[in-house]
């Protein structure tokens, strides 16, 4: 058994694709991304820059805007 991952099937050789079973996995929802950012990513950045959580706040709305407008999902 082999497991392979790819962001795009367009670059894979047709003979290889013919021998594989494809399983599509959806990405995170906007709500999941906001949760991950607020629980882990923002806290990590604050710590790495010597700030306390009380020094800097990002609302869920701001995080959602950053995620939707300034990041990209590979589809």
* Number of domains within the chain: 1
- Do residues 36 and 67 lie in contact, with contact meaning Cβ atoms separated by under 8 Å? no
Residue 22 included in any domain: no
pLDDT at 53: 85
pLDDT at 56: 84
pLDDT at 23: 93
pLDDT at 74: 56
Residue 64 included in any domain: yes
Task: Encode the chain (75 residues) as per-residue pLDDT tens digits.
Answer: 889 988 889 999 999 999 999 999 888 899 999 999 999 999 999 999 999 988 888 899 999 999 999 887 755
Residue 56 included in any domain: yes
Give SS3 for 41.
Answer: helix
Residue 41 included in any domain: yes
Instruction: Tell me which residue range forms the domain holding 63.
Output: 27-70
Burial track 37-52 (b if 16+ CB lie within 10 A, e otherwise): beeeebeeebeeeeee
């Amino acid at each position: 058994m082999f497991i392979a991952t790819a962001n795009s099937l367009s670059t894979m050789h047709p003979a290889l694709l013919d021998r594989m079973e494809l399983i599509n996995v959806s990405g995170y929802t906007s709500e999941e991304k906001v949760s991950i950012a607020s629980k882990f990513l923002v806290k990590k950045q604050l710590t790495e820059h010597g700030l306390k959580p009380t020094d800097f706040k990002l609302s869920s709305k701001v995080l959602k805007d950053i995620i939707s407008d300034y990041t990209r999902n590979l589809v």
